[in-house]
């Protein structure tokens, strides 16, 4: 699963009881609370009902919640799943994942996140975007993660122009 644009809003972790399939899931939702399923249970364990900036943090929290919940519910199996923004739009429930699949999802999602054109850091989840006089804007995409990186890129380009 590749991170969508809304994944920059964060990764929301909650417990779900899918009434159609009768499965109990710890759900990680790309895009934050807006895309979580409607069957969310009341927050009971540390880390649930929270939004994380990094998929690795959300995955770790989900696996911890899964273990705590499984300790309390011994007659059913508790799963972890990931719902994307598309699943949220379509009302789809997540598919159960193994801990290894959750870790792989976190790693691949982190690698796929948009990066700053100057420092190669992951773009922040804030709505502020930065550019400079040389920035080429396409579809409201700003290539820098901070004002500092935009300025540094500008200074670098100005030095190149002076040398020529």
pLDDT at 141 over 90: no
Confidence of residue 7 (pLDDT cuts 50, 70, 90): very low
Q: What is the pLDDT of residues 41-94, one digit of tens each?
A: 999 999 999 999 889 999 999 999 999 999 999 999 999 999 865 555 555 677
pLDDT for the residue 155: 79
Q: How many folded domains does the chain comprise?
A: 2
> How far is 26 from 6, CA to CA, in rounded Å?
20
Asked whether the beta carbons of 44 and 15 are under 8 A apart, the reply is yes
What is the residue range of 74's domain? 5-112
Question: Based on the domain organization, do 82 and 26 belong to the same domain?
Answer: yes
Closest CA to 125 of 146, 139, 107, 105: 146
Question: Based on the domain organization, do 98 and 118 belong to the same domain?
Answer: no
Question: Based on the domain organization, do 126 and 69 belong to the same domain?
Answer: no
Rounded to the nearest integer, the mean pLDDT of the chain is: 81
Question: Based on the domain organization, do 21 and 60 belong to the same domain?
Answer: yes
Question: Based on the domain organization, do 28 and 107 belong to the same domain?
Answer: yes
pLDDT at 5 over 50: no
pTM: 0.74
162: phi then psi, degrees, rounded to nearest 5? -70, -35
Question: Based on the domain organization, do 86 and 147 belong to the same domain?
Answer: no
Question: Based on the domain organization, do 66 and 9 belong to the same domain?
Answer: yes
3-class secondary structure, 34: helix
């Amino acid at each position: 699963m590749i991170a969508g644009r809304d994944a920059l809003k964060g990764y929301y972790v909650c417990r779900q009881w899918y009434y159609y399939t009768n499965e109990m899931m710890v759900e990680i939702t790309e895009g934050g609370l807006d895309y979580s399923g409607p069957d969310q249970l009341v927050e009971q364990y540390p880390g649930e009902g929270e939004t994380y900036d990094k998929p690795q943090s959300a995955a770790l929290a989900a696996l911890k919640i899964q273990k705590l919940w499984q300790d309390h519910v011994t007659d059913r199996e508790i799963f972890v799943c990931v719902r994307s923004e598309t699943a949220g739009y379509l009302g789809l429930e997540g598919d159960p994942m193994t801990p290894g699949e959750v870790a792989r999802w976190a790693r691949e999602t982190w690698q796929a996140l948009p990066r700053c054109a100057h420092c190669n850091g992951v773009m922040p989840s804030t709505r502020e975007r930065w550019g400079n006089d040389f920035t080429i804007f396409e579809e409201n995409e700003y290539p820098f993660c901070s004002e500092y990186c935009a300025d540094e890129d500008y200074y670098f380009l100005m030095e190149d122009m002076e040398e020529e």
